[in-house]
Amino acid sequence: SLFSELKGDAVAKLIKLLPAKDRIEALSLLGYEEDSVGRLMTPDYVAVKKDWTVSRVLAHIRRYGKNSETIDVVYVIDKDGVLLDDIRIREILLSDPEALIGDLTDQRLIALKADDHQEEAINVFRMNNRVALPVVDDNNVLLGIVTVDDILWIANEEYTEDMHKVGGTQALDEPYLDMPIFGLFKKRIGWLVVLFLGEMLTATAMQHFEADIAKAVILAMFVPLIISSGGNSGSQASTLIIQAMALGEITVGDWWRVMRREIISGLMLGVVLGAIGFLRILAWTTFTDMYGPHWALIGATVGVSLVGVVLWGSLAGSMLPLLLKKLGADPATSSAPFVATLVDVTGLIIYFSVAVMFLTGVLL
């Protein structure tokens, strides 16, 4: 972990200071990809043969266990080092001393590959109650183990990185208060510029409908209401899908199920917000003449627009993470600010298109 955080020249100097055995081990682990399981594993574990008795295994653990990362799990291998199974120490302690280890195996082995991504290891640990998992190569030869404490550390890093991306910034390399001001600036300015350029399309969309706004200025009052509702629904959907993907609850193959659910929930949410918007106009009309004689059409425009924009926001927010995953990108990149910006532009188009349909010949 320390070596992976240092620059190449610093790593080389430190490795030279290590004892020969530790130097070989460090170089072996550094040979794996940075975010692979191979970088996390340790070669310090207890391995036994299937034809050993329980008493022999216990003697082996007493002799070599102190050098192992954990003795909670013992690994059964053959003469070539191929992993056959793993056995929890509890089962060994409660078995007859003369029983063969091969008789205790249940073939319910769960193993990681050295070139698996660390996020995949996090998901495997999350779905299985294990304190450690073996790491094997393509020939199923046992290379090392990964313990749950290492996984928890990596999971915290991955979660923090995803939270930064969801917030519309690059992941920080060090604690916030230790980060130089210019470093924070560089992490944040990229996405802010992209989002600002995206919001400029909102101004372009409003210019396109400038004539309609001039004829019915009242429509401009509801622009923040419409686009913020769409952005909020999109941000909600995006956050839910990103988290569900991180937990392994859904995959790209579930896109149709996700879309179907978001269509239904988006319509329900839109109808509720649309009804509230219409009732707001009705309430103001009761006490003022703000909306004139065509208040019902204006209310219908706002209500229908909210249904469309909220539905579109839910679909965009849920589909973008899946699309990015399909393209090999990080789903967290479809952050809430990015989804909100996208829905802002398209929400305006939906709103004024509905206004043209309802109000042409009346206010437009």
Q: What is the dihedral sign for C-alpha 169, 175, 180, 183? A: negative
Confidence of residue 302 (pLDDT cuts 50, 70, 90): very high
**228-to-143, 232, 339 alpha-carbon distances in Å:** 53, 6, 11
Alpha-carbon distance of 215 to 161, in angstroms, equals 48
pLDDT at 267 over 90: yes
Q: Where are the domains of the chain?
A: 32-165, 176-359
Alpha-carbon distance of 260 to 256, in angstroms, equals 6
pLDDT at 199 over 90: no
Alpha-carbon distance of 188 to 169, in angstroms, equals 5
* 157-194 per-position pLDDT tens digit: 777 777 777 666 777 777 778 888 888 888 888 878 87
Name the CATH code of domain 32-165 (choices 3.10.350.10, 1.10.3720.10, 3.10.580.10, 3.30.300.30): 3.10.580.10
CATH superfamily for domain 176-359: SLC41 divalent cation transporters, integral membrane domain (1.10.357.20)
CB 82 within 8 A of CB 52: no
Residue with tokens 């149709």: 256
Average pLDDT over residues 195-215: 77
pLDDT at 84: 93
Using DSSP bridges, classify how beta strands 142-147 and 47-49 pair: parallel, antiparallel or unpaired. unpaired
CB 346 within 8 A of CB 353: no
Using DSSP bridges, classify how beta strands 132-136 and 142-147 pair: parallel, antiparallel or unpaired. antiparallel
* 319-361 per-position pLDDT tens digit: 998 998 888 877 876 567 778 888 888 888 899 899 989 988 8
pLDDT at 22: 57
